[in-house]
Amino acid sequence: MSLSSSPRILSVIPPMTQLNTPYPATAYLTGFLRERGFHAEQADLALALVLELLSKQGLPGIRDAAEAIHPKKRSKTLKHFLNQFDRYLTAIGPAIALLQGRDGSIAHRICSRAFLPEGPRFAALDNYADDGSGDPLAWAFGALGVQDRARHLATLFLNDLADVLREAVDTRFEFVRYGETLAQSQASFNPLAAALAAPPTLVDTTLEKLTLDTVARSQPDVVLLSVPFPGTVYAAFCIARAIKARYPAIVTVLGGGYVNTELRELAEPRVFDHFDYVTLDDGEKPLLALFEHLAGKRPRLNLVRTFARVDGAVRYYNSQEPDIPFEEVGTPTWDGLPLDRYLSLLDMLNPMHRLWSDGHWNKLTVAHGCYWKKCSFCDVSLDYIGRYDAASARTLVDRIERIVDETGHTGFHFVDEAAPPKGLRAMAEELQRRNLSISWWGNIRFEKSFTPELCLQLADSGCIAVSGGLEVASDRLLALMKKGVSVDQVARVTRAFTDAGVLVHAYLMYGFPTQTLHDTVDALEYVRQLFEANCIQSGFFHRFACTVHSPVGRNPAEYGIKLQALPPGKFAKNDVQFIDPTGVDHDRLGKALNKALYNYMHGICLDQDVRSWFDERTPKPRVSRHFIARALGGYAG
């Protein structure tokens, strides 16, 4: 296989990722490659797939699939869809146009509640308190929030259609993931192979058509597929299969966050029926080496962090050359992506929580890796966290200016594992020096470096929100996690951000090794108080998962647990099951934690005893009901 020294390159976002803004991997690679003189293009097939299926042309195919289900087996969702199909066909175009920001005038008809056919997803509106006006959404949007109110209703409308698609066409489909269980910690490739060999669904055939149309337009020599999550892997294989069947000479390359965490010990030859190469960690250096190899200028032995199949067996090549410094990776570009066609969904009314799905955000990083890299639950041994490399504030703000000029959007989401306080301060100073007006948000550690003065400076530079890990709100467990923070410190830092006008989201965790039922009750009490004191405005509880690359997975005895043997296989390896001597059924507790959090985010039940959320008998919190208030007592806010 030999290509020219300057191949045509197409980077593809596979389904499914978020729909409001492009996933940044292709933008980073395309920007880097163009600055190195390559002909590089990009395409978002996740967005294209949804817009094709949920359109006036796509809905009849979904209807046909729903009608093929025996009437006695049709759910309430399918029955409603079929009975109201003509209304769905009429409403789909205007609803999409509203969510794309192309037709705001339809908002008034949507808000009338007579335009959209309202399926089971609209029952969620019954959970909102009526202020006496007869309008359950009045508390959230008031009398004037017509556009937001309409976008929330249009989002429920699309969620109904996604449910229909999942029930009638393809049970694996969701707006943010597709076929996730086929790839998530799957030691064996067999489930993915069986899915690829099965008769195609309407989703599969639509994706294949979009793939071939995109390739025909771009005429690439190399196609790069970046899979950030397990819910993008199946579609990536479908895309590669379609390319190989029609254009066998095109070189297909697989990379991305999922590969970097779960396929580090890849030994499955069948992967290479679809992909010629699989690369690990940052793609810039491996791709430059690969292009030299394809042009006959570098032997295969000198590839960088690259898997290939040779004589039927998987081989790994790594000449261990240094990576491209973060200062030199260039500026991401969104050129070629249809920025005016993304969907600003509004499924969660909480003002902080909605940032993830609402509006266009230029995604950027302040630095490569994590400056802390000590958290025991995190994959700190891997390159994307363990190798910290920062660029100067001048370089970072140069990139910001170029991106604003290109996209016309001034909103930025910094997607660092934890943005460094010194880097943020320097960026804020540079933004202020240049008098640049942007809005930005990102992930941080709630560390004491974020003083009230710094929080005010960051807000003045455009910071509108921050998210950070409180994890298990327990000083004992935070110390075991090596978070380097305490609950009272988190309270002071989050309150400093709130007082500066910055929204705060807390990542929360349950099920950490040695966490008892009493620990969980205590943690929820801390969280209740943080909401009550207006330290945080949003949060999300996730179940702890032990990974093979984390300190817990590498040194389980230090955390009081025993690992179970990993299943045999040649494919993915990441999550590992473990035995915790506490014996707590954390999965059962998760429902109560998330129900409480949902209410807290809406300002409801903040004075209620946290034990009332649990179905089982639980101990009284050991936390004083005034713990957070006392922690804030010395704070001059």
Give per-residue pLDDT as tens, 70-110: 999 999 999 999 999 999 999 999 999 999 999 999 999 99
Write down how long the chain is. Answer: 637
Candidates 522, 448, 511, 517; CA nearest to 481 is: 511
Residue 1 has pLDDT above 70, yes or no: no
Residue 340 has pLDDT above 90, yes or no: yes
CATH class of 348-631: alpha beta
65 token code pair: 């699939």
- pLDDT, tens digit, for every residue of 301-317? 999 999 999 999 999 99
Residue 351 has pLDDT above 90, yes or no: no
Q: Is 509 left (phi over 0), alpha (psi -120 to 50) or beta?
A: beta
Residue 491 has pLDDT above 70, yes or no: yes
- pLDDT, tens digit, for every residue of 445-454? 999 999 999 9
CB 35 within 8 A of CB 330: yes
**What is the rounded CA–CA span in Å between residue 250 and residue 132?**
63
Helices 76-83/146-168 angle, 10° precision: 110
Residue 144 has pLDDT above 60, yes or no: no
pTM of the model: 0.95
Query: Which residue in this structure is represented by tokens 């071939």?
Result: 212
Determine the pLDDT at residue 602.
87
Residue 496 has pLDDT above 50, yes or no: yes
**What is the rounded CA–CA span in Å between residue 419 and residue 396?**
13
- pLDDT, tens digit, for every residue of 562-608? 999 999 999 999 999 999 999 999 989 999 999 999 999 988 999 99
Determine the pLDDT at residue 126.
76
Candidates 458, 445, 533; CA nearest to 497 is: 458
* More confidently predicted of 603 and 429: 429
Determine the pLDDT at residue 139.
61
For residue 630, give the 3-state DSSP assignment.
helix
Residue 321 has pLDDT above 90, yes or no: yes
Mean pLDDT of 3-8: 82
Determine the pLDDT at residue 348.
80
Determine the pLDDT at residue 3.
74
H/E element holding 586? helix 586-601
Determine the pLDDT at residue 636.
45
CATH 3.80.30, the chain: domain bounds:
348-631
Mean pLDDT of 252-276: 98
35 token code pair: 């600055």
**What is the rounded CA–CA span in Å between residue 454 and residue 138?**
36
In terms of C-beta density within 10 A (0-12 exposed, 13-18 middle, 19 or more buried), how is residue 83 classed?
Answer: exposed
Mean pLDDT for all residues in the chain? 95
Candidates 108, 114, 17, 116; CA nearest to 343 is: 17
